[in-house]
Structure 1
Amino acid sequence: MFQAIGILFLVLGLLCGGAIVAAPLGLMHQPDGMAVYLLFPGLFMLGYLFLAGSVRDPAVAKITRGAGAALMLLAAAAAVILVIFATGIMVAEGSRLPLWYVMGLGIVFGSAALTVRGDQSKI
Protein backbone atom coordinates (compact mmCIF):
# COMPACT_ATOMS: atom_id res chain seq x y z
CA MET A 1 0.00 0.00 0.00
CA PHE A 2 2.81 2.42 0.89
CA GLN A 3 4.47 1.71 -2.46
CA ALA A 4 1.34 2.66 -4.40
CA ILE A 5 0.82 5.83 -2.35
CA GLY A 6 4.53 6.66 -2.69
CA ILE A 7 4.39 6.33 -6.48
CA LEU A 8 1.21 8.41 -6.61
CA PHE A 9 2.74 11.19 -4.51
CA LEU A 10 5.95 11.16 -6.57
CA VAL A 11 3.95 11.50 -9.78
CA LEU A 12 1.76 14.26 -8.31
CA GLY A 13 4.85 16.13 -7.13
CA LEU A 14 6.36 15.91 -10.62
CA LEU A 15 3.04 17.03 -12.10
CA CYS A 16 3.09 20.12 -9.87
CA GLY A 17 6.66 20.85 -10.93
CA GLY A 18 5.73 20.37 -14.57
CA ALA A 19 2.79 22.76 -14.18
CA ILE A 20 5.10 25.40 -12.73
CA VAL A 21 7.48 24.97 -15.69
CA ALA A 22 4.72 24.91 -18.34
CA ALA A 23 2.89 28.04 -17.17
CA PRO A 24 5.40 30.65 -18.45
CA LEU A 25 5.27 28.97 -21.86
CA GLY A 26 1.53 29.59 -22.02
CA LEU A 27 0.74 25.87 -22.05
CA MET A 28 -1.43 26.28 -18.97
CA HIS A 29 -2.64 29.00 -16.64
CA GLN A 30 -0.38 30.43 -13.94
CA PRO A 31 -0.99 28.51 -10.69
CA ASP A 32 -3.14 30.37 -8.19
CA GLY A 33 -1.71 30.93 -4.74
CA MET A 34 1.16 29.10 -3.13
CA ALA A 35 -0.36 25.60 -3.12
CA VAL A 36 1.43 24.23 -6.19
CA TYR A 37 4.74 25.73 -5.05
CA LEU A 38 4.45 23.86 -1.75
CA LEU A 39 2.97 20.69 -3.26
CA PHE A 40 5.81 20.26 -5.76
CA PRO A 41 8.59 19.54 -3.27
CA GLY A 42 6.27 18.35 -0.49
CA LEU A 43 4.48 15.61 -2.41
CA PHE A 44 7.66 14.57 -4.18
CA MET A 45 9.59 14.14 -0.93
CA LEU A 46 6.67 12.49 0.86
CA GLY A 47 6.21 10.07 -2.04
CA TYR A 48 9.91 9.27 -2.01
CA LEU A 49 9.84 8.59 1.74
CA PHE A 50 6.81 6.30 1.43
CA LEU A 51 8.28 4.44 -1.50
CA ALA A 52 11.83 4.13 -0.17
CA GLY A 53 10.59 3.14 3.28
CA SER A 54 8.48 0.30 1.93
CA VAL A 55 11.10 -1.60 -0.08
CA ARG A 56 14.15 -3.71 0.71
CA ASP A 57 17.54 -2.04 1.17
CA PRO A 58 19.11 -2.70 -2.28
CA ALA A 59 16.14 -1.14 -4.08
CA VAL A 60 16.32 2.11 -2.09
CA ALA A 61 19.40 3.30 -3.99
CA LYS A 62 17.67 2.66 -7.32
CA ILE A 63 14.55 4.53 -6.21
CA THR A 64 16.67 7.41 -4.92
CA ARG A 65 18.64 7.66 -8.16
CA GLY A 66 15.46 7.44 -10.25
CA ALA A 67 13.81 10.21 -8.24
CA GLY A 68 16.96 12.31 -8.54
CA ALA A 69 17.07 11.78 -12.29
CA ALA A 70 13.44 12.91 -12.60
CA LEU A 71 14.19 16.08 -10.63
CA MET A 72 17.29 16.79 -12.71
CA LEU A 73 15.27 16.42 -15.93
CA LEU A 74 12.70 18.87 -14.59
CA ALA A 75 15.50 21.27 -13.61
CA ALA A 76 17.05 20.91 -17.06
CA ALA A 77 13.70 21.71 -18.70
CA ALA A 78 13.38 24.83 -16.54
CA ALA A 79 16.93 25.87 -17.48
CA VAL A 80 16.26 25.42 -21.19
CA ILE A 81 13.10 27.51 -20.95
CA LEU A 82 14.96 30.22 -19.03
CA VAL A 83 17.59 30.37 -21.78
CA ILE A 84 14.87 30.56 -24.44
CA PHE A 85 13.32 33.52 -22.63
CA ALA A 86 16.65 35.20 -21.88
CA THR A 87 17.72 35.08 -25.53
CA GLY A 88 14.42 36.47 -26.75
CA ILE A 89 13.43 33.40 -28.75
CA MET A 90 10.11 33.43 -26.89
CA VAL A 91 8.42 35.84 -24.52
CA ALA A 92 7.39 34.59 -21.10
CA GLU A 93 3.74 34.73 -20.12
CA GLY A 94 4.02 35.83 -16.54
CA SER A 95 6.93 35.69 -14.15
CA ARG A 96 10.12 33.72 -14.72
CA LEU A 97 10.72 33.35 -10.99
CA PRO A 98 8.89 29.99 -10.75
CA LEU A 99 11.31 28.56 -13.31
CA TRP A 100 14.23 29.55 -11.08
CA TYR A 101 12.43 27.90 -8.14
CA VAL A 102 11.99 24.58 -9.97
CA MET A 103 15.51 24.69 -11.38
CA GLY A 104 17.06 25.40 -7.97
CA LEU A 105 15.15 22.70 -6.09
CA GLY A 106 15.65 20.22 -8.91
CA ILE A 107 19.41 20.75 -9.01
CA VAL A 108 19.89 20.67 -5.24
CA PHE A 109 17.71 17.65 -4.44
CA GLY A 110 18.30 15.88 -7.74
CA SER A 111 22.08 16.03 -7.54
CA ALA A 112 22.00 14.93 -3.91
CA ALA A 113 19.87 11.93 -4.85
CA LEU A 114 22.07 11.00 -7.80
CA THR A 115 25.14 10.76 -5.57
CA VAL A 116 23.68 7.81 -3.66
CA ARG A 117 25.54 4.61 -4.44
CA GLY A 118 23.95 1.20 -4.50
CA ASP A 119 26.70 -0.63 -2.59
CA GLN A 120 27.02 1.04 0.81
CA SER A 121 28.71 -1.97 2.43
CA LYS A 122 32.21 -0.69 1.55
CA ILE A 123 31.83 2.53 3.56
Structure 2
Amino acid sequence: MLLAFGALMVVLGLLSGGVLTASALGATALEPGWTAGLAYPGLTLLGYGLFVIPANDGPIQWLTRASGALCLLLGMVAIAVLVLRSLGILAFDGGTLTLWWIFGCSLLLGPMGWLGARVPASTSR
Protein backbone atom coordinates (compact mmCIF):
# COMPACT_ATOMS: atom_id res chain seq x y z
CA MET A 1 0.00 0.00 0.00
CA LEU A 2 2.88 2.37 0.74
CA LEU A 3 4.27 1.83 -2.74
CA ALA A 4 0.93 2.70 -4.34
CA PHE A 5 0.57 5.82 -2.19
CA GLY A 6 4.16 6.84 -2.91
CA ALA A 7 3.66 6.35 -6.65
CA LEU A 8 0.52 8.50 -6.52
CA MET A 9 2.42 11.24 -4.70
CA VAL A 10 5.18 11.24 -7.32
CA VAL A 11 2.63 11.39 -10.16
CA LEU A 12 0.72 14.25 -8.51
CA GLY A 13 3.95 16.12 -7.79
CA LEU A 14 5.15 15.79 -11.38
CA LEU A 15 1.71 16.77 -12.69
CA SER A 16 1.81 19.90 -10.54
CA GLY A 17 5.26 20.80 -11.85
CA GLY A 18 4.20 20.25 -15.44
CA VAL A 19 1.05 22.36 -15.09
CA LEU A 20 2.99 25.12 -13.33
CA THR A 21 5.55 25.20 -16.13
CA ALA A 22 2.93 25.13 -18.90
CA SER A 23 0.90 27.82 -17.16
CA ALA A 24 3.94 30.10 -16.72
CA LEU A 25 4.61 29.78 -20.44
CA GLY A 26 1.00 30.54 -21.33
CA ALA A 27 0.68 27.13 -22.99
CA THR A 28 -2.47 26.28 -21.03
CA ALA A 29 -5.52 28.09 -19.77
CA LEU A 30 -5.14 26.40 -16.38
CA GLU A 31 -4.32 28.70 -13.49
CA PRO A 32 -2.65 26.66 -10.75
CA GLY A 33 -2.67 28.12 -7.26
CA TRP A 34 -0.10 28.14 -4.50
CA THR A 35 -1.00 24.57 -3.58
CA ALA A 36 0.43 23.37 -6.90
CA GLY A 37 3.60 25.31 -6.18
CA LEU A 38 4.03 23.48 -2.90
CA ALA A 39 2.81 20.15 -4.30
CA TYR A 40 5.59 19.90 -6.89
CA PRO A 41 8.47 19.61 -4.44
CA GLY A 42 6.48 18.36 -1.46
CA LEU A 43 4.59 15.51 -3.02
CA THR A 44 7.53 14.46 -5.15
CA LEU A 45 9.77 14.23 -2.08
CA LEU A 46 7.08 12.37 -0.12
CA GLY A 47 6.62 10.00 -3.01
CA TYR A 48 10.35 9.37 -3.26
CA GLY A 49 10.42 8.51 0.44
CA LEU A 50 7.47 6.14 0.30
CA PHE A 51 8.19 4.68 -3.12
CA VAL A 52 11.94 4.24 -3.22
CA ILE A 53 13.21 3.72 0.29
CA PRO A 54 11.12 0.60 1.04
CA ALA A 55 11.67 -0.86 -2.44
CA ASN A 56 14.65 -3.00 -3.20
CA ASP A 57 13.76 -4.17 -6.68
CA GLY A 58 15.13 -2.82 -9.92
CA PRO A 59 11.87 -1.87 -11.72
CA ILE A 60 10.70 0.47 -8.98
CA GLN A 61 14.09 2.10 -8.74
CA TRP A 62 14.13 2.59 -12.53
CA LEU A 63 10.74 4.31 -12.26
CA THR A 64 12.23 6.59 -9.66
CA ARG A 65 15.11 7.40 -11.99
CA ALA A 66 12.55 8.18 -14.70
CA SER A 67 10.70 10.57 -12.38
CA GLY A 68 14.02 12.22 -11.49
CA ALA A 69 14.73 12.60 -15.20
CA LEU A 70 11.30 14.22 -15.67
CA CYS A 71 12.09 16.67 -12.87
CA LEU A 72 15.37 17.53 -14.59
CA LEU A 73 13.51 17.99 -17.86
CA LEU A 74 11.10 20.45 -16.20
CA GLY A 75 14.09 22.33 -14.82
CA MET A 76 15.78 22.45 -18.22
CA VAL A 77 12.63 23.82 -19.85
CA ALA A 78 12.25 26.44 -17.12
CA ILE A 79 15.82 27.72 -17.33
CA ALA A 80 15.86 27.64 -21.13
CA VAL A 81 12.73 29.79 -21.23
CA LEU A 82 14.19 32.18 -18.65
CA VAL A 83 17.41 32.60 -20.63
CA LEU A 84 15.62 32.94 -23.98
CA ARG A 85 13.28 35.51 -22.45
CA SER A 86 16.18 37.51 -20.98
CA LEU A 87 17.88 37.56 -24.39
CA GLY A 88 14.71 38.87 -26.02
CA ILE A 89 14.35 35.78 -28.21
CA LEU A 90 11.18 34.58 -26.50
CA ALA A 91 8.47 36.90 -25.31
CA PHE A 92 5.45 36.06 -23.19
CA ASP A 93 3.27 37.85 -20.70
CA GLY A 94 3.57 37.10 -17.04
CA GLY A 95 6.27 36.93 -14.44
CA THR A 96 9.18 34.59 -14.05
CA LEU A 97 8.82 33.63 -10.39
CA THR A 98 7.10 30.32 -11.17
CA LEU A 99 9.80 29.36 -13.65
CA TRP A 100 12.53 30.15 -11.12
CA TRP A 101 10.64 28.05 -8.55
CA ILE A 102 10.41 25.10 -10.96
CA PHE A 103 14.09 25.44 -11.84
CA GLY A 104 15.20 25.60 -8.21
CA CYS A 105 13.07 22.67 -7.10
CA SER A 106 14.18 20.64 -10.09
CA LEU A 107 17.82 21.14 -9.13
CA LEU A 108 17.02 19.27 -5.92
CA LEU A 109 14.38 16.77 -7.05
CA GLY A 110 15.99 15.60 -10.28
CA PRO A 111 19.28 14.40 -8.84
CA MET A 112 17.50 12.96 -5.79
CA GLY A 113 15.36 10.76 -8.00
CA TRP A 114 18.07 9.91 -10.47
CA LEU A 115 20.95 9.29 -8.07
CA GLY A 116 18.92 8.24 -5.05
CA ALA A 117 17.57 5.12 -6.71
CA ARG A 118 20.28 2.56 -6.23
CA VAL A 119 19.73 -0.30 -8.56
CA PRO A 120 21.02 -3.48 -6.90
CA ALA A 121 23.90 -5.26 -8.54
CA SER A 122 23.07 -8.60 -10.11
CA THR A 123 23.83 -11.50 -7.87
CA SER A 124 24.67 -14.05 -10.52
CA ARG A 125 27.31 -16.55 -9.49
Sort the TM-score into its range (normalised by shorter chain).
0.7 to 0.9
Tell me the distance in 2 between the aligned counterparts of 1:93 and 1:13.
Answer: 25
Give, in whole Å, the separation in 1 of the partners of 2:104 and 2:110.
10
| C-alpha contact 1:71 1:109 (8 A) present in aligned 2 | yes
Aligned length: 118
Equivalent positions of 1:26-105 (< 5 A) are: 26-27=26-27, 28-32=29-33, 34-55=34-55, 57-59=56-58, 61-105=61-105
RMSD value over aligned CA atoms? Answer: 2.3
Q: Which 10-residue stretch deviates more, 88-97 or 58-67?
A: 58-67
Give the equivalent residue in structure 1 for 2:25: 25
Q: 1:5 to 1:46 in 2, by over 3 A?
A: same
Cα displacement (A) at 1:53: 3.8
Distance in structure 1 (CA, Å) of the matches to 2:51 and 2:114: 17
Partner deviation per Cα, 1:45-84 (whole Å, 9 max, x = no partner): 11222211442x2436534433321211111111222123
* TM-score, with structure 1 as normaliser: 0.78
Sort the Cα spacing of 1:58 and 1:4 in 2 relative to 1 into closer, same or farther, 3 A: closer
Partner of 2:3: 3
Identity percentage of aligned residues: 34
- In structure 1, list runs of 5 or more residues that go unmatched: none
SS in 2 for 1:115: helix
Which TM-score applies when normalising by structure 2?
0.77
**One-letter identity of the residue aligned with 2:8:** L
- Paired residue type of 2:26: G
